[in-house]
Structure 1
Amino acid sequence: MWTRLPSSALRLTGADRVDFVQGQMTNDLRGAPTPGVVACCFLTVRGQIEFFARAYKREGDVYLHLDAGQAAGLAARLRRYIIFDQVEIQDLTNELRTVHVWREADLPGWNPAGGDAQAFELGGSQVLGGRANRTGMPGVDLHYLAEQEANVLAALGREEPFDRLETARLRAGIPDVTRDGFVGTLPQEVGLDVGGPLPAISYRKGCYVGQEIMARLEARGNARYHLMRLSGEGLPDRAEVTQGGKVVGQAGRHAGGLSLARLRKELAPGDSVQVGGVPATVQALRADA
């Protein structure tokens, strides 16, 4: 099974590419193998998420895979920080396509025992794969040239609609920063901390924009919100969550009767809330929790 992912992409080249992006992102790209991939955020100076990406470290470049419509904004941000760095930034959104293969064992040419990033041939075309858990089990984000799409897709199995992938994601308790509307929040509040469902932070990598706030949160452990699930029918997407007329969080995308939500930590599974005025029930992040 595979599903098309709405995507945009940047390619960074030049001698300083790894060090440059390392100083902007929350995770440790320098410490990743080559090839390798890490989930990461690009933060504001207040530690709030501005962009989420999966960063691929390759022999000759750094490839940043983002949600649709994000590449131009991140490129503009990165260019503001280029001073003497030998870095060039190219927007590849129109040249590349991405699908998610739900189970890595189903992808021809992919080695389930291999690294998290692998380049291989599929359908006579060179492709790049990155291990990504979007459904609660190891899958692969598959990147390829748009002009080679017909050959690549012919080598895969059955296509599944995006809404079904979203339902599986929410059932597994895995956040999507852009789709859930969590831009502007702290990573620790929406499941991106170490030990969370989508870890995207290293507390040992050195300085980056927003790092001081991240270090303070690690030391004090005082984030007031965390990621939970909500169940209910017809919940609006990306709406305020209230209880007794008080705002207690924000809900993300709704699919399959579920939403992920950034909620006050005092809320517990079984509590009743409203999402944009629609009744909902707080659930543990995972169905088996």
Structure 2
Amino acid sequence: MWTFLPSSSLRVTGADRVDFIHGQMTNDLRRAPTPGMVPCAFLNVKGQIEFFARVYRRADDLYVHLAADEAERLQARLKRYIIFDQVQLENLTGTLSTIHVWNAADLAGWDVAGADAQQFELAGQTVLGGRVNRTGQPGVDLHYLASHAGEVEAALTGPPRPLAELEAARIAAGIPDVSADHFQGVLPQEIGLDIGGQLPAISYKKGCYVGQEIMARLEARGNARHHLARLAGELTPFSEVVLDGKVVGQLGAVAGGLGLAKLRKEVADGQQVQCGAGTATVQLLNANV
């Protein structure tokens, strides 16, 4: 099974590309192998998420994979920080396409026991793959030239599945998606992007970046008031989560009666909360227990 992923992307070249992007993102790009892939966030000065991305490190460039309609805005942000750096930014949106192959073993040319990022041949075309868990089990995000879509997609196993089905599997598995869940503007630790969370995207051992001071304070004090939880019931997407008349969280996308929420930690497993006009039950995720 495979699903087309609406997305956007940047290509970063130049002698200073690794150091420059490393100094902007929450995770440790310098320690990534070549080829390698690092999930990360780009934060504002308050430590709040502006973008979530997966950065692929290759021999001659970096490939930054983002949600749809984000590459242009991230490119504008990064340009503000280029002073003497030898860095070039190219928006590849429209040039490259991305699909998610649900089961890595179904993808010809992909080495299941190999690295998290691999460049290989598929249907006579060179493609880039990254091991990504979007459904509760590792699959592959496959990146390829849009002009080669016919040949690449013809080489895939099984029929395409709609994005809504992939989203339902993601939410059921408790995996956040910053863009799909409208979690921009929150702290990474509040939605499972911390070390040990559902989608680790932070290194506390790397150097400075925008928002790093806030991340260091949270690590030292361990006092993020929210974490990621799943709700089940009558859910209104993107609504406030209310308990006893008090707002205790923010709900993301909804599928199949389930949704992921940024929720205050004092709300207990199994507790009933209000989401819009409906009532839901809190389901704490394994990483929170």
TM-score under structure 1 length normalisation? 0.98
Equivalent position amino acid for 2:209 in 1: Y
How far does the alpha carbon of each residue in 1:131-155 deviate from its partner, in whole angstroms, 9 at most, with x for none?
A: 0000110110000000000000000
CA contact (8 A) 1:173 1:286 kept: no
Secondary structure of 1:73's aligned partner: helix
CA distance in structure 2 between the aligned counterparts of 1:207 and 1:85, rounded to whole angstroms: 16
Aligned residue pairs total: 287
Are positions 1:258 and 2:258 aligned together? Answer: yes
Unmatched 5+ residue regions in structure 2?
none
CA contact (8 A) 1:171 1:286 kept: no
Are positions 1:178 and 2:179 aligned together? Answer: yes
Aligned to 2:205: 204
Aligned to 1:164: 165
Equivalences for residues 6-155 of structure 1 within 5 A: 6-155=6-155
Deviates more, 1:235-244 or 1:184-193: 235-244
How far does the alpha carbon of each residue in 1:169-225 deviate from its partner, in whole angstroms, 9 at most, with x for none?
A: 111100000110110000000000001110000000111111111011001000000
How far does the alpha carbon of each residue in 1:22-70 deviate from its partner, in whole angstroms, 9 at most, with x for none?
A: 0000000110000000100000011000000000000000100000011
Structure 1 residue 92: Cα displacement: 0.2
CA contact (8 A) 1:172 1:286 kept: no
Secondary structure of 1:188's aligned partner: helix
CA contact (8 A) 1:17 1:87 kept: yes
Secondary structure of 1:166's aligned partner: helix
Aligned to 2:232: 231
Secondary structure of 1:198's aligned partner: coil
Aligned to 2:246: 246
Equivalent position amino acid for 1:80 in 2: R
CA contact (8 A) 1:252 1:261 kept: yes
Unmatched 5+ residue regions in structure 1?
none
Structure 1 residue 277: Cα displacement: 2.6
Are positions 1:190 and 2:191 aligned together? Answer: yes
Secondary structure of 1:81's aligned partner: coil
Structure 1 residue 285: Cα displacement: 1.9
Alpha carbon RMSD of aligned pairs, Å?
Answer: 1.1
TM-score under structure 2 length normalisation? 0.98
CA distance in structure 2 between the aligned counterparts of 1:278 and 1:81, rounded to whole angstroms: 45
Equivalent position amino acid for 2:224 in 1: A
Deviates more, 1:2-11 or 1:155-164: 155-164
Structure 1 residue 286: Cα displacement: 5.0
Structure 1 residue 71: Cα displacement: 0.4
CA distance in structure 2 between the aligned counterparts of 1:79 and 1:59, rounded to whole angstroms: 22
CA contact (8 A) 1:230 1:283 kept: yes
Aligned to 1:278: 278
CA distance in structure 2 between the aligned counterparts of 1:51 and 1:239, rounded to whole angstroms: 21
Deviates more, 1:236-245 or 1:54-63: 236-245
